[in-house]
Amino acid sequence: MISATTILKDLPVEVRLNRLEALVEASQALNRAAGLDDILHAILDLIPAQLDCERATAFIRDKRTGKLHARQMSGSEHIEIVLERGVGIAGYVAESGESVLSNNVPADPRFDNSTDRRTGFLTMSMLCVPLRKPDSEPMGSLQAINARAGGFSKADLAYLEAFAALAAFAVEREQLAQEAIRSKLISTELELARKIQQRLLPVAGGINLPSPYSAWGISQACYDVGGDAYDVLTLPSGECAFWVADVSGKGIGAALLMTTLQTELRALVHEESDLALLTAELNTRVNTVAPLGTFATLFIGVLSAEAQRLRYVNAGHLPPLWLPRLLSDPRKCEEGGMPIGVSPSSFYEVGETRFAPGERLALFTDGVTDAENTSGATYEVEGLVASLARLSPQSIEQTGRAVFEDLDHFRIGVSAKDDTTFLIIGMD
């Protein structure tokens, strides 16, 4: 970056010293300023005095819309000015990064006179420079309007560019400070959302159920909040209902849909005993609120100790694994239908199979099977099968804890890329 001394070397000594003093004063004022408006006000108060002009305006680009917004003005009452990208001399400078010196503004084809028409002000001469740090994209533009001596000089333009460099550093500093505040607020909100979401899930570990039912589960979000859900609860009929769901995507969007899914399931499982109708109704409700392209896989089951039977619907979810007959007695549990939220007119089929005392059913999301180790290998269903096969007969809580410890040992040192949920349920 060329120094202010070099820029102003051709000016008379007295003028040069005055302007350098003004730059020092501006720098000090910026360091004292609190908030973006104060920063711009400190800059814009000095420009008309040093360049002997009627007005100065600073345009800041809105990050959300890309439009230019006049945040502060000097030399008149504040007037709201919003420019589309590339509109007017200010828009041209903010887009191109090129400074403009025009002593016949009305004849400049880039000039947008809509503000003059609205206010009755007449713009005759203008300096406009990009508001940016060296080697960075412009964050807006800075204008000096109507030189009282009749026109601006190249030295005036260089001087305004020096001011703009100071302003750019100050504006970015304030924007970064605001971003830090917003990040802290977001972090606080995410922590609150995480706590709310945790209350919708069983506490990790053994789940309190009446005999002979037993279950152990855990769900770990990839980020602050997640899109996996699971639950186990007893019904007035004496049966035990349970499910594992995996919402597509991760983060806030998936967490919001997970909340809807979990809440609706807890209500529906007490209202509707037919799992096909229950799942169809859940699908209808989710379709009314889920964004296009968002869906959830779901495995829901109802276990009857009296009949020693399991009824279930598999809505596009990973098939569960059975213990202790992983190899000798495969049962796929694939009957069901499309994932929840794919189509509002989906129909579902109920599967049914025996479930004897001593048997266990392991359910999981793809955060388990897709878990990676430091070598880039994935855990896969085969890793889960091998982990389950190594276990001697033991309690469900011991089995669940041992399997998850094996998974953690496999993926140690690698950050999770997906939400991870594991549930094992059975009858003693």
pLDDT, tens digit (0-9, with 9 covering 90-100), for 177-194: 677 767 676 666 666 666
pLDDT of 110-137, one tens digit each?
A: 999 988 888 888 999 999 999 887 677 8
Predicted confidence (pLDDT) at residue 7 exceeds the cutoff of 60 = no
Fold of 200-427: Phosphatase 2c; domain 1 (3.60.40)
Banded model confidence at residue 272, pLDDT cuts 50, 70, 90: very high
Predicted confidence (pLDDT) at residue 30 exceeds the cutoff of 70 = no
The CATH number given to 4-180 is 3.30.450.40
Predicted confidence (pLDDT) at residue 311 exceeds the cutoff of 90 = yes
CA distances from 58 to 43, 171, 332 (A): 9, 11, 67
> Which pLDDT does position 18 carry in this prediction?
64
Is residue 367 a contact partner of residue 354, using CB atoms and an 8 Å limit?
no
> Which pLDDT does position 341 carry in this prediction?
92
Banded model confidence at residue 4, pLDDT cuts 50, 70, 90: very low
Q: What is the mean pLDDT of residues 297-313?
A: 97
**Out of 84-98, 118-132, 249-263, least confident range:** 249-263
pLDDT of 42-58, one tens digit each?
A: 777 778 877 889 988 88
The top-scoring range by mean pLDDT among 5-19, 237-251, 296-310 is: 296-310
**Out of 175-179, 307-311, 357-361, least confident range:** 175-179
Predicted confidence (pLDDT) at residue 255 exceeds the cutoff of 90 = no
Tokens 């430091």 correspond to what residue?
Answer: 374
Same fold, 4-180 and 200-427: no
In 3D space, the residue among 397, 364, 394, 401 whose CA is nearest the CA of residue 381 turns out to be: 364
> Which pLDDT does position 275 carry in this prediction?
97
φ and ψ at residue 218, rounded to 5 degrees = -155, 145
Is residue 102 a contact partner of residue 108, using CB atoms and an 8 Å limit?
yes
Distance CA 204, CA 397 (A): 11
> Which pLDDT does position 100 carry in this prediction?
94
> Which pLDDT does position 10 carry in this prediction?
60
- Chain-wide mean pLDDT for the chain? 85
CA distances from 26 to 49, 56, 309 (A): 12, 15, 80
**Out of 34-38, 64-68, 376-380, least confident range:** 34-38
- Token digits for 410? 């496999």
Banded model confidence at residue 148, pLDDT cuts 50, 70, 90: very high
Helix (H, G, I), strand (E, B) or coil at 390: helix
Q: Where are the domains of the chain?
A: 4-180, 200-427
Q: What is the mean pLDDT of residues 353-380?
A: 93
Banded model confidence at residue 2, pLDDT cuts 50, 70, 90: very low
> Which pLDDT does position 164 carry in this prediction?
83
Q: Which has the higher per-residue pLDDT, 275 or 115?
A: 275
Predicted confidence (pLDDT) at residue 208 exceeds the cutoff of 90 = yes
Q: Which has the higher per-residue pLDDT, 316 or 67?
A: 316
Q: What is the mean pLDDT of residues 409-418?
A: 88
> Which pLDDT does position 249 carry in this prediction?
79
> Which pLDDT does position 35 carry in this prediction?
66
Predicted confidence (pLDDT) at residue 213 exceeds the cutoff of 80 = yes
Predicted confidence (pLDDT) at residue 370 exceeds the cutoff of 80 = yes
Q: Where does 114-270 show beta strands of DSSP type E?
A: 126-131, 140-147, 205-207, 213-220, 228-234, 240-247
Q: In this prediction, what percent of the chain has a pLDDT beyond 90?
A: 47
Distance CA 315, CA 245 (A): 9
